[in-house]
Amino acid sequence: MMIFLFLLFSCITFHLYKLIFQNRSCCYLLHYECYKATDDRKVDAETCAKIVMRNKNLGPQEQRLILQTMVRSGLGDETYCPRNILEGREAAPTLSDSLSEIDDITFDTLDALFAKTKISPTDIDILVVNVSLFSPAPSLTSRVVNTYKMREGIKTFNISGMGCSATIVAIDLVQQLFKTHNKALAIVVSTESLGPNWYCGKESSMLVASCLCRSGGCSMLLTSNGSFKGKSVMKLNQLVRTHLGADDDAYNCCIKTEDKLGHQGFLLTKGLSRATSIAFTLNLKVLIPKILPGKDLLLYVFHSYSRNRAKDSTVAIPSSIEEAGGGISLKAGIEHFCIHPGVRALIDGVGKSLGLDDYDLEPSRMALHRFGNTAAAGVWYVLGYMEAKKRLKRGDRILMIGYGAGFKCNSCVWEVTRDLTGGNVWEDCIDSYPLPTVNVSPFLGMFG
């Protein structure tokens, strides 16, 4: 009973705070631009097979694991790959390869962003670049400043090691800076460096990441200037970050390391599923009181209390991602869901946890099929699908959920400020989606 009263009081206090203070510091999204590589970098089933088979360290068992992963992944055969991998140089990437890969994504999206918004690079006050696995000197932010000749007073931040949830970390940094920088313009660039980080060993727990990750990225323009509200596409309402780094199992479940032969790669342990479930559960406990109306919040509190009593524990630890949400429906406070398109099983698990249907999960499933796991930029390809399908109407609320090494679960809620109808990177293929059945993998016919 005390827990119930405490949560009820917290809910009432939060809504009063929101009513009084929410307009003091705003974060508006003016535009976002996703990256789409050229057709010569597409990776079909046959090309994937060639990349796998030329790894001389793999035996039949490891080859079988990779092909099974590809068949079950949910990826299509039109995703994109770095040039050095397509050219067979993944075992010996150069610094030039690394810089070229990031430059293509960063400057392609920023050029389009500046052109479409008519904002000059010299007007930007804050610049954040997040690339987890590549951090050269000078920094990537300095590379952007030099290319566009940005002004001397710009505040720059280079984020690395944050994994697939880094884009929400970057947005949180921007919104915190907006509290002390009125009428500021900020750029966030989210992408990943795949070319120099391709795993060429044979450890099964390190092979999966290379099977799923593909080239992609996104640049966003945000502002704290209320006069831009009419030109904005979305407004940030909530943002919640959960970090399990203090737990050794969670910290080590998704980590870059070396195998016994000295090959570097990303290790995914059996503890990843449990870490994801716990992080998601804890994140929801903070987020749900901020987004659900009173009636639905009371139902959530009652359900959580009952579940905790049934498990004879003050904090019920879910055994899987499907149980993390406890079956609670967020649709009273959220219209659209951008779930990180990392792998099909994760999308389906989160969907089951939150009671989502095929319509809700369609954007994430299709983004995974068309573009693959594009790391921190993935949620923006999901958003692009919704916009291209003309789903997003003024007043709609969008939940973005991302997971990353550390281990982290980050989420944010956007409110659409005007009807969105842009085609973006989906323009030339949106009429082909949704697929009749996304469960039929293009790799199945070749490798099944």
pLDDT of residue 306: 61
pLDDT at 240 over 80: yes
Statement: residue 19 has pLDDT above 50: no
Residue 6: predicted pLDDT: 55
Tell me the residue length of the chain: 448
Q: Cite the active site residues.
A: 164, 243, 336, 340, 369, 373
Share of the chain above pLDDT 90, in %: 69
Locus of tokens 């070749």: 446
For range 192-208, the mean pLDDT: 92
Which among 274, 414, 402 is positioned nearest to 341, based on CA atoms? 402
Lowest mean pLDDT among 36-40, 298-302, 344-348: 298-302
Q: The dihedral of CA 432, 436, 438, 443: what is its sign?
A: negative
Max mean pLDDT range (227-231, 310-314, 441-445): 227-231
Each residue's pLDDT tens digit, 357-402: 999 999 999 999 999 999 999 999 999 999 999 999 999 999 999 9
Residue 249 structure tokens: 């199992």
Count other Cβ atoms within 10 Å, centred on residue 312. Answer: 7
User: 23 pLDDT band (50/70/90 cuts)?
Assistant: very low
The structure's pTM equals 0.91
pLDDT band at 293 (very low <50, low <70, confident <90, very high): confident
CA–centroid distance for 424 within its chain: 18
pLDDT of residue 316: 58
pLDDT band at residue 15, thresholds of 50, 70 and 90? low
Query: CA nearest 108: which of 157, 43, 41, 63?
Result: 41
Please enumerate in sequence order all residues whose Cβ is within 8 A of that of 176, keeping only pairs 6 or more positions apart, or say none. Answer: none
Distance of CA 183 to the CA centre of its chain: 27
- Per the model's pLDDT, the better-predicted residue between 240 and 322 turns out to be 240
CA 6 to chain centre: 33
Amino acid at 419: D
Yes or no: say if 401 and 409 are a contact pair by the CB < 8 Å rule.
yes
Position 159 pLDDT exceeds 90? yes
SS3 string of the chain?
A: CHHHHHHHHHHHHHHHHHHHHCCCCCCEEEEEEECCCCHHHEECHHHHHHHHHCCCCCCHHHHHHHHHHHHHCCCCCCEECCHHHHCCCCCCCCHHHHHHHHHHHHHHHHHHHHHHHCCCHHHCCEEEEEECCCCCCCCHHHHHHHHHCCCCCCEEEEECCCHHHHHHHHHHHHHHHHCCCCCCEEEEEEECCCHHHCCCCCCHHHHHHHHHECCCEEEEEEECCHHHHHHCCEEEEEEEEEECCCCHHHHHCEEEEECCCCCEEEEECCCHHHHHHHHHHHHHHHHHHHHCCHHHHHHHHHHHHHHHHHCCCCCCCCCCHHHCCCCCCCCCCCCEEEECCCCHHHHHHHHHHCCCCHHHHHHHHHHHHHHCECHHHHHHHHHHHHHHCCCCCCCCEEEEEEEECCCEEEEEEEEECCCCCCCHHHCCCHHHCCCCCCCCCCCHHHHC
